[in-house]
């Protein structure tokens, strides 16, 4: 049953001369007579059906019905309807919370065609669910109500096209079965430019950029408000990439979407059930269930999540298994390197009125990789200066078995909690290894400072001790940061071995803090210090030749340090941006074999040029160097 309401409706009837063309099956049956044209106009038209609760609304409609006089004899002519026309412009169709907006079509019914609609263009500009615009619109197709003799209960749309997530898809035909209210079609993606996926008008660096093209086939079965996708396939052409940019707009990380060796599907065997929300509390517009696919050689699948999402939100939880993604990652600019390994984990994705968010996704890989950071040298440096500076300007970071938990808000704010099995830093001057490093990275957390990256709660095992960074804010644009390194439990012997010291053996461990300021490739330490956590022993091994050549004062130092038990070891460290550093060391203790074990207090001042922070951790190499230099001076005399 249908109910129709007209607002300020107006009915007009006019007599016109009929040529007999309207509704005639052929030109040979033309005849002249009187025709009546009935026109209905109004401010708006509202049509609803029951059951089904489908409503149709149009503004300023005009419906015209043509009546022609019959050829019967008599004083009063008889009129028969011959045609009806109605041009629909920017109308709206609603069913519950599903709204089709911007509906346009020319309805043209002829008596000679048994009142069936001939082929005309139908277009739908926008689709809403619970007043939220869906990523589906721009639909256009040729339609007719004339039945197919082979499929009498099926309405077919031809030459169809639709915009899906800003991409245009086409379908040769869409079949709609009147018996079960189901339709079937296959969407075709032909050479879709990936740059259309780039979000426009969003804050810089919130979304990556994409290049290249994709193509694919998406078979769809549509019933009521449920779309079933079965075995869809999407292929990226060679050279297709997704890139993340630096604040200067240059790519620093790129992911290859295409297989370099052969053409294979980026997404294979994609299946999912998509429901347009009408009666739920979700404001997302769509719900996705039973999703599964092969992606980059691995598998993804949707899984149920408990507890249920909060009101106004929809949740899609994806399980990832052996996704071969790391090998497709390329680092650019100041960053180079290669990654390897497959990714597995869980990724909960939320949809709400504010957009898309990711809540506590966890991904891990048994692989790893190497990342090289190399800052460009200064033009004014000569060759020797460049070689010396290379120790602080180039470093390889080798990591293994990443395990991360990350979240992303609709505004782009992203947090990444990471744990690695191992992280090794190698430079031309040496290497140092961190075990089980863990920390949290925050990106795009401050709209006023989009170039700031924050590292917090970083900790790792270092040289059998521990290192901690509570917080460090890094300005990616200016390459500036300031933080404090906290160390404890660092064996003194490990510090000596780190610098290749061979003449000194020591026990005990160190703790302290090192305030650090980084400006591009320049490092500055402001009043740092490392102190012994407890007492220990220092043994300086000198050769007979060194002792014979030494002065009396230096010979005394050799004897005191040959078996020195310290009860206090204090040091301070400062380093200017040019690398010039001052290290002070205070030792207090005794040697039981020297002067009856009397108390000895020794103060050393060491000035040297540190190539990087890790070299500044050594205090004993300077001691060895000072003693050796004094010995050689005495030998020359």
Q: Tens of pLDDT along 459-506?
A: 999 989 999 999 999 887 788 899 999 999 999 888 777 766 778 899
Half-sphere exposure of 385 (CA within 13 A, CB side): 9
Q: Which of 235, 254, 236, 234 is nearest to 244 (CA)?
A: 254
Q: Answer yes or no: are the C-beta atoms of 280 and 129 closer than 8 Å.
A: no
Residue showing tokens 């506590």: 360
- Rounded-to-integer distance, Cα 607 and Cα 575, Å: 10
Residue 236 CA to residue 210 CA, distance in Å, equals 11
Q: What is the DSSP letter of 147?
A: P
Kindly tell me if the per-residue pLDDT of 373 is higher than 80. no
How does pLDDT run across 280-315, given as a tens digit for each residue? Answer: 444 445 677 889 999 988 999 998 755 455 554 557
- Domain residue spans of the chain: 1-118, 121-320, 479-636
Using alpha carbons only, give the angle 632, 635, 637 rounded to the nearest 5 degrees.
115
The first and second tokens of residue 105, run together, are: 């079509």
- What is the mean pLDDT of the segment spanning 172-199? 80
Chain centroid offset of residue 46 CA: 45
φ, ψ of residue 113 in degrees (nearest 5): -105, 20
CA-nearest of 88, 85, 83 to 56 is 88
Q: With DSSP H G I counted as helix, E B as strand and the rest as coil, what are the percentages for the chain, rounded to 5? A: 10, 60, 30
Q: Mean pLDDT over all residues of the chain? A: 80
- Highest averaged pLDDT of the listed ranges 16-25, 111-120, 142-151: 111-120
Return all residues near 632 (Cβ < 8 A) that are at least 6 apart: none
Q: How far is Cα 210 from Cα 216, in angstroms, rounded to an integer?
A: 17
Which strand (E) or helix (H) includes residue 136?
Answer: strand 132-143
DSSP for residue 345? E
Kindly indicate the confidence band of residue 131, based on its pLDDT and cuts at 50, 70 and 90.
Answer: confident
Section 382-397 average pLDDT:
54
199 pLDDT more than 80: no
Higher pLDDT, 348 or 384: 348
Q: Is 478 exposed, middle or buried (0-12, 13-18, 19+ CB in 10 A)?
A: exposed
Q: What is the pLDDT of residues 599-614, one digit of tens each?
A: 988 887 877 665 444 4
Work out the angle at residue 165's Cα, subtended by the Cα atoms of residues 162 and 171, and round it to the nearest 5 degrees: 25
The whole-number pLDDT of residue 402 equals 93
- Please give the pLDDT value at position 113: 84
Residue 108: which residues within 8 A CB-CB, separation 6 or more? Answer: 83, 84, 85, 117, 118, 120
**Considering all CA atoms of the chain, what is the largest pairwise distance in Å, rounded to the nearest integer?**
149
- Angstrom distance (rounded) from CA 395 to CA 334: 11
CA distance 281 to 279: 7
- Who's near 192: CB < 8 A, 6+ residues apart? 167, 168, 213, 214, 215
439 vs 427: CA distance, rounded Å = 23
Distance CA 47, CA 54 (A): 8
CA nearest to 437, candidates 400, 407, 408: 400
Using CA atoms of 539, 541, 546, 550 in order, give the dihedral in degrees to the nearest 10: 0
Give the dihedral sign, CA 208/209/212/213.
positive
Task: Tell me the whole-structure pTM to 2 decimals.
Answer: 0.67
Q: Please, what sign has the CA dihedral across residues 460, 363, 216, 294?
A: positive
- As a whole-number percent, the residues of the chain with pLDDT over 90 amount to 29
Highest mean pLDDT among 272-276, 423-427, 464-468: 464-468
What confidence score (pLDDT) does residue 92 get? Answer: 94
Q: Which residues pair with 49 in a beta bridge?
A: 2, 54
Q: Tell me the pLDDT tens digit for each residue of 562-600.
A: 899 999 999 998 888 877 888 888 999 999 988 888 998
The answer to whether 323 and 346 have CB atoms below 8 angstroms apart is: no
Output the six-digit token pair for 537.
């022993």
Hey, is 392 helix, strand or coil? helix
pLDDT recorded at residue 385 = 46
d(CA 347, CA 300): 10
DSSP class of residue 375 equals: P
Cis peptide upstream of residue 307 (ω within 30 degrees of 0): yes
Selected residue with higher pLDDT from 58 and 613: 58
């Amino acid at each position: 049953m249908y109910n129709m309401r007209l607002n300020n409706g107006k009915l007009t009837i006019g007599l016109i001369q009929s040529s007999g063309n309207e509704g005639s099956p052929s030109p040979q049956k033309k005849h002249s007579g009187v025709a009546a044209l009935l026109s209905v106009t109004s401010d708006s038209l509202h049509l609803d059906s029951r059951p089904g609760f489908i409503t149709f609304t149009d503004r300023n409609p005009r419906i015209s019905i043509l009546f022609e006089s019959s050829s019967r004899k008599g004083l009063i002519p008889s009129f028969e309807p011959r045609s009806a026309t109605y041009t629909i412009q920017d109308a709206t169709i609603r069913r519950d919370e599903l709204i089709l907006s911007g509906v346009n079509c020319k309805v043209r019914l002829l008596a000679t065609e048994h009142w069936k609609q001939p082929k005309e263009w139908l277009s739908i500009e926008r689709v809403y669910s619970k007043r939220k615009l869906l990523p589906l619109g721009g639909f256009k197709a040729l339609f007719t109500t004339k039945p197919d003799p082979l499929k009498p209960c099926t309405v077919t749309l031809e030459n169809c096209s639709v915009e899906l997530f800003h991409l245009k898809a086409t379908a040769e035909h869409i079949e709609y079965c009147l018996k079960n209210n189901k339709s079937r079609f296959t969407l075709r993606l032909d050479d879709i430019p990936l740059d259309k996926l780039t979000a426009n008008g969003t804050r810089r660096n919130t979304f990556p950029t994409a290049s290249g093209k994709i193509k694919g086939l998406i078979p769809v079965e549509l019933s009521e408000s449920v779309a079933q996708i079965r075995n869809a396939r999407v292929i990226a052409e060679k050279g297709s990439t997704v890139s993340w940019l630096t604040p200067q707009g240059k790519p620093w990380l790129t992911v290859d979407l295409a297989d370099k060796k052969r053409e294979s599907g980026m997404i294979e065997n994609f299946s999912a059930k998509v429901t347009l929300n009408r009666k739920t509390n979700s404001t997302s517009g769509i719900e996705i269930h039973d999703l599964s696919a092969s992606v980059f050689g691995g598998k993804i699948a949707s899984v149920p999540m408990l507890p249920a999402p909060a009101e106004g939100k929809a949740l899609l939880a994806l399980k990832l298994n052996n996704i071969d993604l790391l090998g497709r990652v390329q680092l650019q600019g100041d960053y180079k390197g290669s990654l390897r390994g497959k990714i597995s984990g869980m990724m909960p994705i939320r949809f709400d009125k504010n957009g898309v968010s990711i809540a506590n996704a966890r991904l891990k890989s048994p692989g790893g990789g190497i990342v090289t950071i190399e800052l460009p040298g200064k033009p004014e440096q000569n060759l020797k200066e460049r070689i010396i500076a290379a120790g602080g300007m180039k470093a390889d970071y080798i990591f293994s078995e990443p395990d991360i938990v990350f979240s992303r808000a609709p505004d782009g704010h992203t947090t990444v909690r990471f744990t690695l099995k191992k992280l090794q830093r190698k430079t031309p001057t040496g290497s140092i290894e961190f075990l089980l490093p863990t920390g949290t990275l925050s990106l795009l957390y401050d709209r006023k400072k989009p170039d700031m990256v924050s590292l917090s709660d970083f900790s790792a095992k270092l040289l059998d001790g521990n290192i901690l960074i509570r917080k460090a804010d890094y300005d990616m644009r200016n390459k500036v940061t300031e933080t404090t390194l906290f160390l404890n439990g660092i064996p003194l012997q490990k510090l000596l071995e780190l610098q290749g010291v061979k003449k000194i053996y020591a026990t005990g461990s160190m703790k302290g803090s090192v305030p650090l300021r980084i400006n591009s490739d320049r490092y500055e330490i402001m009043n740092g210090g490392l102190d012994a956590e407890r007492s220990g022993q220092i043994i300086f091994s000198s050769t007979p030749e060194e002792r014979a050549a030494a002065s009396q004062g230096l010979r005394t130092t050799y004897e005191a340090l040959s078996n020195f038990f310290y009860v206090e070891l204090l040091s301070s460290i400062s380093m200017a941006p040019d690398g010039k550093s001052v290290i002070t060391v205070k030792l207090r203790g005794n040697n039981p074999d020297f002067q009856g074990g009397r108390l000895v207090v020794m103060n050393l001042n060491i000035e040297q040029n540190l190539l990087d922070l890790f070299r500044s951790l050594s205090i004993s190499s300077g001691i060895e160097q000072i003693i050796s230099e004094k010995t050689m001076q005495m030998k020359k005399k």
